[in-house]
Amino acid sequence: MSGPGARPAPPPEPAIATVGLGKRFGKLWALQDCSVSVPRGRVVALVGPNGAGKTTLLRILAGLSSPTTGEARILGRRPEQSEQFLSSIGFLAQEIPLYRQLTARQHIDIGAGLNPRWDGKAALDRLGAVRVPTDRAVGTLSGGQRAQVALGLALAKRPAVLLLDEPVAALDPLARREFLASLAAAVAEQEVSVVLSSHLVHDLERVCDFVVLLAAARVQLCADIEEILDTHRLLVGARKPVGEIERAMDVIRVTQTARQSRVLARLQSPIVDPWWEVAEVGLEDIILAYMGRDAEGIEQEIVNLGATA
Amino acid sequence: MNLLVWRLHRNQFLFAASALAALTVVLLVTGSVMAHDYDTALANCRATQNCGDLGSQLFRGDGMIIDLVNLTLVVPLLFGLFWGAPLLAKELEDGTHNLVWTQSVPRRRWLSSTVGWALLAAAAWGGAMAALVSWWRYPENALNSRFGAFDIQGFVPVAYAVFAVALGIAVGSLVRRVLPALALTIAAFVAVRVPIAVFLRPHFLTPLRATFPPTSPGTNRAGDWVLSQLLVVPSGGSSHLSDFGSLPSLCETQGFQSKGLIGPCLARHGYRIAVTYQPDSRFWTFQGIEAGVFLVLACLLVVLAFRWVLHRDA
């Protein structure tokens, strides 16, 4: 739990709510019609292929960028240039920006003057625990150590919502695991909602309990991981025409071979049709199936192994 | 906020402080010597009633010191390049704006503080430098026109420094990368500063005009800024004084290489010399006008920089 006076009683608003959010750069929509609602206290995996609008969404939420359409709210408050809003969010940009010539300790000292609820001691302790030198210019640290410093700074603000944009993308597997372990530890002791974007789905599964999936600049999926796992099934059966399958269920992806149809579907109720053999399916496969969809329809992968024979 | 500014720019500050200290020592030492020599010579020549050629007798700083003092002309541009251009461009280029703009300080306050300190430093350093040079040039100013060193003394250096830094900041916030910002700052600074000095400054106020015979000692107006000297022919037309081709042939026989002879000859034939000039008494007015122009430009640039930083996506 957080320390005394860390945060007022939670308002009823969700941690993050967006309605019809869109962002256009020139003629290109980086994000379109994005409506999501994330309850407080979740650790959200914001996933999607490169260019899906993850960074755009996070930057709008952090108040760094303003939307072309729609609106975003964090804890019921629109992103704005006020101390009240800014102190409620923590943001870590993709390139892990730090002042290279300054040490971690200097960053922490500076942060104390810029933030009302700064917890510099916790940040130093946290960096000590992962053996990151705090008295060397951060430019001389490894990528993993810099990421730890940046995470420490974001957490030292004691934000209500922490936004992390691909923080582990550039890290080696070990540093990635340590970063996520630090994040998990912080989430356990600090009451904070987290949004963590990545295209590395595998990493997120360990720390996240909620998924927002962006693909083709739109929201494809926004739900609890448990719920996603419960409702998605892989169905395998003798080959059926795609149209017929689509009429029967909410199809995410179909793979047709000469004799078989393999269908990844979102089910409202258990399948009773004996045609299908039903199997559970992992989060990564589900997400990859969604990512493979184009903006409108389902993905069909027809493997024509002498289908006419 | 101030700790952030200090930590990021401490090295620049210390370097600039050292450079200013070194300049101060050099100018104080040489300036004291010069002022003392001048005062002594002035006292002596007053005693002998022969002060006409004082300038050529006096130590006016050896070549290197004079060069050093004249080099202060480019210091405002250096401020623009080292303090102004990278101030925002480096943050935007390195991405550290994403770090600082997501602290709890609203962007406008961060910007005001950062820009404010940079402009203040420019004004302080420009002012210190200008005061030193003005003081150092006291004998020179007494002997020759102050207009000759208009750009490095008085209070225009302060305005130049503030303008250069504001220009660097605005350019940096527009192009968002350090190297292009440096190049553009140099180009824009020169493109503004040179035309104003060369074409506008002589006409800040309508120049005065005086005519006198070629033999008159009035041709040597020590403190004034002479814009042009023309030879007025008796018929009323005029030509540039150096244009000897148009001199009346009747004086040629007397040898026009020597002004000592040609002057009385021209005077005899009714020629006169017309001078347009800005009198020494207008020096501070001109300083005020020029400083005002650059401070207004600096204000506009700061407004633009704020607009570009606050109303554009990060």
Residue pLDDT, tens place only, A242-264: 888 888 888 888 888 889 999 99
Same domain, B76 and B221: no
Q: CATH for A16-215, among 3.65.10.10, 3.40.50.300, 3.40.50.10310, 3.40.50.720?
A: 3.40.50.300
Residue B138 lies in a domain: yes
Plot region of A11 (φ>0 → left; ψ -120 to 50 → alpha; else → beta): beta
For chain B, what percentages of helix, strand and coil (3-state, to nearest 5) are there? Answer: 75, 5, 20
* pLDDT for A60 beyond 70: yes
Locus of tokens 């501070």: B284
Residue B289 lies in a domain: no
Same domain, B264 and B299: no
Residue B70 lies in a domain: yes
* pLDDT for A308 beyond 50: no
Q: What is the pLDDT of residue B64?
A: 78
Same domain, B8 and B100: yes
**Which ipTM value was assigned to this complex?**
0.86
When CB atoms are compared, the residue of A86, A95, A99 closest to B102 is: A86
For chain A, what percentages of helix, strand and coil (3-state, to nearest 5) are there? Answer: 30, 30, 40
Amino acid identity for residue B137 in this structure: R
Residue A35 has phi, psi (to 5 degrees) of: -125, 115
Residue B58 banded pLDDT, cuts 50, 70, 90? low
Mean pLDDT of A18-22: 95
Same domain, B11 and B48: yes
Residue contact B101–A106, C-beta within 8 A: no
Mean pLDDT of B101-109: 96
Residue B290 lies in a domain: no
Residue B288 lies in a domain: no
Distance from CA of A82 to the nearest CA of B (A): 5
Among residues A245, A304, A221, A270, which one has the least CA distance to residue A38? Answer: A221
Q: What is the pLDDT of residue A295?
A: 45
- Radius of gyration of chain B from its Cα atoms, rounded to whole angstroms: 25
Give residue B257's domain range: 208-280
List, in order, residues 6 or more apart from A206 with CB less than 8 Å away: A180, A184
Q: Which residues of B touch A (CB under 8 A)?
A: 1-4, 7-8, 94-108, 310, 313-314
How do the domains of chain A map onto residue ranges? 16-215, 228-302
Number of CB atoms found within 10 A of residue A230's CB: 12
Same domain, B152 and B227: no
Range with lowest mean pLDDT among A120-134, A142-156, A294-308: A294-308
Alpha-carbon separation of residue B287 from A78, B133, B135, B153, B158 (angstroms): 50, 15, 16, 9, 11
Residue contact B103–A86, C-beta within 8 A: yes
Residue A62 banded pLDDT, cuts 50, 70, 90? very high
Q: What is the pLDDT of residue B230?
A: 81
- A93 at interface of B, judged by CB pairs closer than 8 A: yes
When CB atoms are compared, the residue of B1, B98, B105 closest to A64 is: B98
Same domain, B200 and B213: no
Residue contact B4–A86, C-beta within 8 A: no
- The conformation of residue A216, written as its DSSP 8-state character, comes to T
pTM here is 0.87
Q: What is the pLDDT of residue B93?
A: 96
Rounded CA separation A156/A154 (Å): 6
Cβ-Cβ contacts under 8 Å, A111 against chain B: 103
Mean pLDDT over the full length of chain A:
88
* pLDDT for A115 beyond 70: yes
A:98-117 residues touching chain B, CB 8 A cutoff: 98-100, 102, 106, 109-111, 113-116
Same domain, B191 and B260: no
Cβ-Cβ contacts under 8 Å, A115 against chain B: 103-104
**Number of domains comprising chain B:** 2
Q: What is the pLDDT of residue B213?
A: 81
Residue contact B99–A90, C-beta within 8 A: no
Residue contact A86–B106, C-beta within 8 A: yes
When CB atoms are compared, the residue of B4, B95, B96 closest to A114 is: B4
Residue A46 banded pLDDT, cuts 50, 70, 90? very high
- A87 at interface of B, judged by CB pairs closer than 8 A: yes
Same domain, B200 and B218: no
Q: What is the pLDDT of residue B35?
A: 86
Residue B258 lies in a domain: yes
Same domain, B32 and B65: yes
Q: What is the pLDDT of residue A65?
A: 94
Residue contact A115–B106, C-beta within 8 A: no
Choose from A107, A110, A165 for mutation: most chain B CBs within 10 A.
A110
Same domain, B116 and B234: no
With a pLDDT cut of 70, the percent of chain B lying above it is: 84
List, in order, residues 6 or more apart from B115 with CB less than 8 Å away: B87, B169, B302, B305, B306
Residue A105 or residue B56, greater confidence: A105
Mean pLDDT of A53-73: 95
Rounded CA separation A205/A60 (Å): 25
Distance from CA of A243 to the nearest CA of B (A): 45
Q: Are A92 and A154 in contact (CB under 8 A)?
A: yes
Q: What is the pLDDT of residue A296?
A: 47
Residue-wise pLDDT for B24-56, tens only, equals: 999 999 888 888 888 888 888 888 776 766 666
Cβ-Cβ contacts under 8 Å, A157 against chain B: 103-104
Residue-wise pLDDT for B230-287, tens only, equals: 878 777 666 665 555 556 565 665 555 555 566 777 777 778 888 889 998 999 999 9
With a pLDDT cut of 90, the percent of chain B lying above it is: 57
Residue-wise pLDDT for A211-238, tens only, equals: 999 887 788 889 999 999 999 999 999 9
Among residues A114, A178, A173, which one has the least CA distance to residue A149? Answer: A178
Residue B172 or residue B69, greater confidence: B172
Residue contact A157–B103, C-beta within 8 A: yes
* pLDDT for B145 beyond 70: yes
Q: What is the pLDDT of residue A126?
A: 93
Same domain, B49 and B173: yes
* pLDDT for A144 beyond 70: yes
Residue A17 banded pLDDT, cuts 50, 70, 90? very high
